[in-house]
Structure 1
Amino acid sequence: MSTDVPVLPLIESDELQAIRGSIREIADRFGPHYMRECYERDEPPNAMWEALSEGGFVGINVPEQWDGGGLGMLGLITVAEELAANGSTLLLLVVSSAINGSILAKHGTTEQKETWLRGVATGTKRLAFAITEPDAGTNSHNLRTTIKPNGNGKYVINGQKTFISGVEQSDAILVVTRAVLDDGNLGLPSLALVDTDAPGLKRDKIPMPYLGPDHQWTLFLDDVEVDEDRLIGGFNGGLGPIFDGLNPERIIGAALAIGGGRLALEKASAYARERTVWKTPIGAHQGIAHPLAKAKIDLDLAWLMTQKAAVLNDAGAKAGEASNMAKYAAAEAAIEAVERAIQTHGGNGITLEYGLSDLWWGVRLTRTAPVSAEMILNFVAEHSLGLPKSY
């Protein structure tokens, strides 16, 4: 842990402002309908990913030693929020850059960093992350996907995962398993990198209403073999690495939600300035203006907590409370911003033309994933307020 006192700058640095400008230029290059076009062609947004990679943005959080930008989660959430605010939410920034990048940087061996982290930093390797199971969502202690040595120098994985993002775009998946100990009991988690084309790995696409190019998958692992050098943290040693990936997941999820809320407010404000009813722009009516103003306040407050969580995480300080609070606040603020934007547009808010229904599905997800609002409230009640555990 760093001995330096974490500092949250209230004025964004020139470097981060320049990054925002570059992200806007990339988003403008592809246009507001790029993500929808990828969805309609059933293609991943590879061209945008490559443009971001060439600019050094997908690995901006990775240490410079491994070809990253060295700006930590504060840099990555700046990229993610600005992308989302310009209509381009990339889930691989969550799973490959934030989760896998953080885990590998802290817990990967030198060989694993050479093989995988450099690729994550440059965008030439993409990694998915698989923890959720049909019977183990919030209750991750109930994970039943197993890993055990086969006696021939390899490890065998069996189990099922669900709601796994970006598998179709990835080179490998970091799978969370449970170690089968010598006595047959299940031990601690183990993390294993599994190639997406590994024998014994099958996947089914989950139909989703969100009209975006990133798919969700159910994975079936049937006697999938991995070498020991694919284990992050070693056999029965993945508990620490998991937790070092979960806070970054919450932080970047908050940033993406806030970006979506910003975009909704921009659309709503522009519409309210132009749409005239009874000879008056509807934005002049407090019934329209006040809810939008409140949504702006709530988004800015959530962004402040998201920045705090990123700074604490980057400093190696305790970031669990701030990360959970940021994710909760961002989800609620973004959902309300999109709701108010839809209401401001009236019937137009429901049409595909105005793009607000797409935003609604994206921000609504953040109330549920990667951890539900209810579980965050449980966390705060227990750990922040010292109340009895309720589950």
Structure 2
Amino acid sequence: MREYSPLPFDQTDDQADLRSMVRSILEQLATPQRLSETDENEAFDEELYAALAESGLVQLEGDLDGTPASHESQAIVLEELGATATSTAVSFVVQYMAVTLLTQHGTPAQRDRFLGPLFEGAHRAAFALTEPGGGTDVARAMKTRATRNADGGWTLNGAKMWISGATDCGFFIVLARTSPIEGSAVGGITMFLVPADAPGITVNEMDTVAIHGLSTCEVGFADVVLGDDAVLGDVDRGFRQVIGTLNGERLNAAAVALGIARGAHDAALDYVRGREAFGRPIGGFQVLQHRLVDEAVKIEAARGLLQRAARVADAGGAAETLSAMAKLAASEAATTATENGMRAMGGSGLSREYPMQRFWRDARLYTFAPLTDEMMTNFIAEHHLVLPRSY
């Protein structure tokens, strides 16, 4: 029987080299046994992260002068991580978000202090936006406050929820309300760079069903005193500045979800080729073949949308609708591939001996992060189909 061969990637030689580099590091360090151990022990893989950062995969083409990395390069790294070490992929999404915000809005001093070590892997960032009482409508619900001190600095008070990597980050990017709501709720919110060891910060890890290799936390800020140089970007415009990065975050979420879909698809193919029933491999049964083909089509469609959106964004074009479509398509591919994989493997799918159950759990994150699939659908309806706002 002819050997299975994945479809070729649409990529330049440099992009092929980048993909090959990531795969080489993962083959050495992200072995099935190691991935299983970090998932079971709910431990972040510091060695893997260090190797990736030392190879320049946090920085990519970016630099301290404010030059950003390309969306295509980030998507390649995240797809490869998503197909193997999904928790590390989620951490990289956060780091790329921090890199973007520091690149676009950081002062030279802030970039030297925070961005340089971030590039080197000397520390990691945690992005603190979501709150206990507000998710999708977080700007209107935001209760975290930063008030001016007499010396020109700030005092930060409040609580954040669902914060990835907060147990071992070097600093937080925290959004806090600095002025009352007047008109639009997105105004009056400021970004702050907060060292993780600042007095008054408490971090409690949450018990989650997925992404076990990266902590998910509640973070409290009680009278945390900050200097005026802690403001990232413009006072009262922080939320608007974050909105300006959402296109890239959607693309990066799509890339991880695409990777999860590909990882689950490959794992299912390996299983159905080797598992026999009624005297032949179960991959010969039509219902399984149809499901596998359906997910293969969804994977390639999601990749096509992701590449198109990333290229438009890198060229400076309007990619918001394409990135929303890519995120929806990749989320659908991930949930389809993991659901089909669990059904194809039957009882083995429930076994932690196999990675399918981890892919199945981790894929659920991208049905609601960074925004829910329903909000992505609303966005496309309003901005692409020009239909009335539905919420």
TM-score for the superposition, normalised by structure 2:
0.91
Tell me how far 1:221 sits from its aligned partner.
1.1
Three-state SS of the structure 1 residue aligned to 2:87 is coil
The change in CA–CA distance for 1:354 and 1:151 in structure 2 (over 3 A counts) is same
After superposition, give the CA deviation of every residue in 1:295-351 in whole Å (9 maximum; x if it has no partner): 011011111111222223323322221222111111111100011111111111111
Cα distance in 1 for residues equivalent to 2:120 and 2:280: 51
Superposition map of 1:58-73 within 5 A: 58-60=58-60, 62-63=62-63, 65=65, 71-73=69-71
Cα distance in 2 for residues equivalent to 1:238 and 1:274: 53
Cα distance in 1 for residues equivalent to 2:258 and 2:55: 23
Cα distance in 2 for residues equivalent to 1:10 and 1:53: 24
Tell me how far 1:288 sits from its aligned partner.
0.6
Tell me how far 1:63 sits from its aligned partner.
3.7
Tell me how far 1:366 sits from its aligned partner.
0.5
Cα distance in 2 for residues equivalent to 1:147 and 1:270: 53
Q: Which residue of 2 aligns with 1:126?
A: 124
Matched, 1:173 2:164: no
Cα distance in 1 for residues equivalent to 2:134 and 2:103: 27
Q: Which residue of 2 aligns with 1:210?
A: 210
Q: Greater shift after overlay, 245-254 or 185-194? A: 185-194
Q: Give the AA of the match of 1:117.
A: L
Three-state SS of the structure 1 residue aligned to 2:162 is strand
Matched, 1:198 2:190: no
Superposition map of 1:343-354 within 5 A: 343-354=343-354
The change in CA–CA distance for 1:42 and 1:356 in structure 2 (over 3 A counts) is closer
Q: Are 1:63 and 1:72, in contact at CA under 8 Å, matched by a contact in 2?
A: no
Counterpart among 77, 82, 104 of residue 106 in structure 1: 104
Cα distance in 2 for residues equivalent to 1:286 and 1:64: 54
Q: Are 2:26 and 2:84, in contact at CA under 8 Å, matched by a contact in 1?
A: yes
Cα distance in 1 for residues equivalent to 2:42 and 2:82: 20
Q: Are 2:174 and 2:194, in contact at CA under 8 Å, matched by a contact in 1?
A: yes
Q: Which residue of 1 aligns with 2:384?
A: 384
Q: Are 1:166 and 1:215, in contact at CA under 8 Å, matched by a contact in 2?
A: yes
For structure 2, the residue ranges without an aligned partner over 5 or more in a row are 1-7
Tell me how far 1:141 sits from its aligned partner.
2.4
The change in CA–CA distance for 1:182 and 1:386 in structure 2 (over 3 A counts) is closer
Q: Are 1:178 and 1:188, in contact at CA under 8 Å, matched by a contact in 2?
A: yes
Q: Are 2:211 and 2:362, in contact at CA under 8 Å, matched by a contact in 1?
A: no
Three-state SS of the structure 2 residue aligned to 1:180 is coil
The change in CA–CA distance for 1:230 and 1:329 in structure 2 (over 3 A counts) is same
Q: Greater shift after overlay, 293-302 or 142-151? A: 142-151
Q: Give the AA of the match of 1:123.
A: G
Q: Which residue of 2 aligns with 1:361?
A: 361
Three-state SS of the structure 2 residue aligned to 1:141 is helix
The change in CA–CA distance for 1:211 and 1:109 in structure 2 (over 3 A counts) is closer
Cα distance in 2 for residues equivalent to 1:255 and 1:196: 28
The change in CA–CA distance for 1:225 and 1:80 in structure 2 (over 3 A counts) is same
TM-score for the superposition, normalised by structure 1:
0.91
Q: Give the AA of the match of 1:144.
A: K
Cα distance in 2 for residues equivalent to 1:346 and 1:289: 15
Tell me how far 1:255 sits from its aligned partner.
0.7
Cα distance in 1 for residues equivalent to 2:158 and 2:113: 26
Q: Which residue of 2 aligns with 1:157?
A: 156
Q: Which residue of 1 aligns with 2:279?
A: 279
Cα distance in 1 for residues equivalent to 2:158 and 2:191: 14
The change in CA–CA distance for 1:61 and 1:174 in structure 2 (over 3 A counts) is farther
Cα distance in 2 for residues equivalent to 1:341 and 1:42: 23
Q: Are 2:87 and 2:211, in contact at CA under 8 Å, matched by a contact in 1?
A: no
For structure 1, the residue ranges without an aligned partner over 5 or more in a row are 1-8
Q: Greater shift after overlay, 111-120 or 74-83? A: 111-120
Q: Are 2:65 and 2:108, in contact at CA under 8 Å, matched by a contact in 1?
A: no
Cα distance in 2 for residues equivalent to 1:199 and 1:39: 31
Q: Which residue of 2 aligns with 1:21?
A: 20
Matched, 1:229 2:229: yes
Three-state SS of the structure 1 residue aligned to 2:177 is strand
Percent identical among aligned pairs is: 32
Matched, 1:53 2:53: yes
Tell me how far 1:132 sits from its aligned partner.
0.5
RMSD of the TM alignment (CA)? 2.2
* Aligned residue pairs, count: 379
Counterpart among 114, 117, 122 of residue 115 in structure 2: 117
Matched, 1:267 2:291: no
Q: Are 1:146 and 1:157, in contact at CA under 8 Å, matched by a contact in 2?
A: yes
Superposition map of 1:183-332 within 5 A: 187-210=187-210, 212-332=212-332
Three-state SS of the structure 1 residue aligned to 2:371 is coil
The change in CA–CA distance for 1:126 and 1:360 in structure 2 (over 3 A counts) is same
